[in-house]
């Protein structure tokens, strides 16, 4: 993994798409992890620190992992993309908006993600959000995320669960939204033979 990280961090195409003072982002976590979470692309916080899922959505993902009875250090977290997809900047050179990566960008970075998956060899891959799911299942695999969410798929021989991105919960704070993602994670826990308590079974159920 160290050799792969060096290749990615020194990749000319990746570096060419990173603005001055920002960083290429590589996956982090346990190389023996049973669960690997895959997101879309770095955001402002991620390209600043060079680590995936460290912004608000990342903090929520960490809480979700904790609710599963695990720590962030026990799983592996990566992204389809190794750089933040560029948009126009302000007078200070700062980009505030985000956009999904296009097919060309994802196709360039996908081999790097697949290499990380092969090295970690997790029991389960969890694709978080529509972009990650399209990247792993194919551009024409579905129209709406709800069509594939909550069901088992396969990527490069690895079982894969598709769920909503944590940012979806940041926009939709209802128990119903939280429960949908939690039901996906319960399936992941069951597949990985993790203990599931009665309390965990009841998380986010409407009263």
Distance CA 100, CA 43 (A): 10
Q: What is the pTM of this model?
A: 0.95
Of the listed ranges 9-13, 34-38, 139-143, 162-166, the least confidently predicted one is: 139-143
The Cα 160–Cα 127 span in angstroms is 7
pLDDT at 207 over 70: no
CATH topology of domain 2-201: Uracil-DNA Glycosylase, subunit E (3.40.470)
In this predicted model, what pLDDT tens digit does every residue of 154-193 receive, in sequence order?
A: 999 999 999 999 999 999 989 999 999 999 999 999 999 9
Q: Give the model's pLDDT for residue 92.
A: 82
According to the model, what pLDDT value does residue 89 have? 87
Average pLDDT, the chain: 95
C-alpha pair distances (Å), 61 with each of 15, 52, 98, 111, 143: 27, 11, 19, 24, 25
Domain ranges of the chain: 2-201
Whether the pLDDT of residue 7 is over 90: the answer is: yes
Number of other CB atoms surrounding residue 204 within 10 Å: 15
Confidence (pLDDT) at 96:
83
pLDDT at 165 (0 to 100): 96
Q: In the prediction, which pLDDT does 58 show?
A: 96
Per-residue pLDDT reduced to its tens digit, 44-87: 999 999 999 999 999 999 999 999 999 999 999 999 999 999 99
What's the pLDDT band for 94 if we cut at 50, 70, 90?
confident
Q: What is the mean pLDDT of residues 193-200?
A: 97
pLDDT at 206 over 80: no
pLDDT band with cut points at 50, 70 and 90 for residue 97: confident
Assigned token pair, 95: 């980009």
Task: Determine the pLDDT at residue 139.
Answer: 87
């Amino acid at each position: 993994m160290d050799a792969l990280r060096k290749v990615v961090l020194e990749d000319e195409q990746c570096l060419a798409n990173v603005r001055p003072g920002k960083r290429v982002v590589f996956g982090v976590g346990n190389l023996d992890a049973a669960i690997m979470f895959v997101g879309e692309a770095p955001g402002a916080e991620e390209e600043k620190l060079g680590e995936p899922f460290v912004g608000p959505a990342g903090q929520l993902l960490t809480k979700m992992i904790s609710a599963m009875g695990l720590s962030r250090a026990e799983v592996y977290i990566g992204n389809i993309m190794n750089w933040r997809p560029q948009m126009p900047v302000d007078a200070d050179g700062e980009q505030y908006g985000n956009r999904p990566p296009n097919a060309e960008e994802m196709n360039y970075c996908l081999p790097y993600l697949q290499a990380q998956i092969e090295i970690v060899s997790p029991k389960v891959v969890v694709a978080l959000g529509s972009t990650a799911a399209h990247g792993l299942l194919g551009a024409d695999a579905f129209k709406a995320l709800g069509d594939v969410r909550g069901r088992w798929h396969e990527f490069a021989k690895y079982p894969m669960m598709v769920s909503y991105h944590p940012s979806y919960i940041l926009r939709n704070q209802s128990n119903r939204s939280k429960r949908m993602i939690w039901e996906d994670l319960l399936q992941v826990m069951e597949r990985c033979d993790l203990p599931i308590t009665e309390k965990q079974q009841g998380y986010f159920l409407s009263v």
